[in-house]
Structure 1
Amino acid sequence: MPALTRPARAAPWLSETGPVLLRSWDNGPVYAERPAPAGLACLWTRTVSSPTVQRVVPDGCTDLMWTPASGALFVAGPDTSAQLAVVAPGTLYGVRLPPGAFPSVFGVPAHAVRDLRVPLSDLVPSARLGSFSEMVEFCAARVVVDPAVAATASLLRSVDVASAAWEIGLSSRQLRRRCLDAFGYPPKVLQRVLRFDTALRLAWGGLPFSAVAFEAGYADQAHLAREVRALAGVPLGQLIRP
């Protein structure tokens, strides 16, 4: 398995905290996730030794990414379908924001970057970040966990859109506006993406697909299969294959 390379100034975020998730593929990519400061989802690295095409699937999150070789800093908005990314050799460093956190960090609604990859300078011209540690500190200092936004995501994981709006005390139009601004999606799309992300994590954990469908809230395994193909472009078995 190829070792994860680290820039000299990556510490402490990658050197003092052990990985909580590590995956490798037969064609070379190595992906690792590590714990992040409060309010952030995780810190991650992806290392490849040769040019690779990787499938990036929707998870409701947004990412700030840095390529040390070029110094490029860019933001990945919330995706509505799978993106095929051409990954150059080397290590890509990322700070993942949980669903709903994007506006507090970057100052624009999440729908403005939906399905886009945008240079950080386009969103925050004053940002001058030269290391992974500075990226983490930038995000951690800005992120705000809005209880109302968190409650919206939590409800949409378990009840239908109309019930969520009633529980929160919003009209359907108000809920749609909140979801577009905070998450980048209308409520129904957000619900589909969150459910898909839950299913993918359960499948990665080795749960049988029939149990995945039940635990993630799909009507049945056929419903799970249709939704995975719609959002990821490939069957679930292919998606989790090493």
Structure 2
Amino acid sequence: MTEETGPGDAGAYRERPSALPGAVVWTRTATGAPGDTRPVLPDGCMDLLWTEGRLFVAGPDTRAYAPDGGPGRYVGIRFYPGTAPALLGVPAHELRDRRVELADLWTAAQARRLIGKVDAASDPMAALEAVAADRAADAGPPDRLLAHVVESLRAGRSVARTAAAVGVNARLLHRRSLHAFGYGPKTLARVLRLQRALALARDGLPYAATAAAAGFADQAHLARDVKELTGLPLGELLGVGRP
């Protein structure tokens, strides 16, 4: 999940690459002030999150998620698309568009022990990363087929071409995608295309050129997808004064 940040909250959110391949760890301090919290946008990822006294999982989103806006410190580890289900021991589609307490996925005793460990740490970010690293070691290496699927769809290839490239039929690709990503490959492709477009637009590319470079039919198609997936018009999402 990707959180939008505005010019006033650059100091509230920070992230760094994780020692786990493809993951990042992040922290955000919410003040509860109006405008402090921005939508969390679909990105194909899943997060393991801590806030004092709680560990919970954010599943893969198909639409923007609005946090409750309450004050507090949040620490998370964001997993590359397709990598979290093996680590968490739950299919991604069971967590789609949901935030679930860790105690509902693992045993209550496990969750209490890990919450206590992160609560007591002087660096909760490092402690949460260590929790994830322990689980990843038990889960084994990530499925390379899933990484190839993400790379292919992110490059703009069709679902049919992607299935052929990884050596499975479309039905099997759909089934494996539901388990790994939380939704089928067409939805994953749409989410990845959205993220590609937002990155290009944030870099200053005009909207029409952004649409063409990201694989949209035209600027109107880009605007429709952004509104459907984020709930906001493109200009409002990125700020005023853009072409």
TM-score range, shorter-chain basis? Answer: 0.7 to 0.9
- Match of residue 101 from structure 1: 83
* Structure 1 position 117, deviation (Å): 0.3
Instruction: Determine helix, strand or coil for the equivalent of 2:157.
Output: coil
User: Any stretches of 5+ residues in structure 2 without a counterpart?
Assistant: 119-123
Letter aligned with residue 206 of structure 2: P
Give the length in aligned residue pairs.
219
Letter aligned with residue 38 of structure 1: L
Q: Which of 147-156 and 35-44 deviates more?
A: 35-44
- Match of residue 179 from structure 1: 177
The 1-side partners of 2:14 and 2:207 are apart by: 25
Q: TM-score, normalised by structure 2?
A: 0.83
The answer on 1:78 being equivalent to 2:60 is yes
The 2-side partners of 1:167 and 1:28 are apart by: 40
The 1-side partners of 2:179 and 2:200 are apart by: 28
* Structure 1 position 53, deviation (Å): 4.7
Q: 1:155 aligns with which of 152, 173, 183?
A: 152
Contact 2:30 2:37 in 1 (8 A): no
The 2-side partners of 1:25 and 1:76 are apart by: 25
* Structure 1 position 176, deviation (Å): 0.4
* Structure 1 position 141, deviation (Å): 3.1
* Structure 1 position 25, deviation (Å): 4.3
The Cα offsets for residues 60-103 of structure 1, whole Å up to 9 and x where unpaired, read as: 000111112xx111100000011111121122111101100111
Cα separation, partners in 2 of 1:205 and 1:145, compared to 1, 3 Å: farther
Contact 1:29 1:48 in 2 (8 A): no
The answer on 1:138 being equivalent to 2:131 is yes
CA RMSD of aligned residues (A): 2.1
The Cα offsets for residues 144-178 of structure 1, whole Å up to 9 and x where unpaired, read as: 32210000111112211111112222111100011
User: Any stretches of 5+ residues in structure 1 without a counterpart?
Assistant: 1-21
The 1-side partners of 2:56 and 2:230 are apart by: 23
* Structure 1 position 23, deviation (Å): 4.9
Contact 2:5 2:38 in 1 (8 A): no
- Match of residue 13 from structure 1: none
* Structure 1 position 124, deviation (Å): 2.0
The 2-side partners of 1:33 and 1:203 are apart by: 21
- Match of residue 200 from structure 1: 198
The 2-side partners of 1:177 and 1:34 are apart by: 32
Cα separation, partners in 2 of 1:142 and 1:206, compared to 1, 3 Å: farther
* Structure 1 position 26, deviation (Å): 3.9
Contact 2:226 2:232 in 1 (8 A): yes
Cα separation, partners in 2 of 1:204 and 1:213, compared to 1, 3 Å: same
Cα separation, partners in 2 of 1:191 and 1:227, compared to 1, 3 Å: same
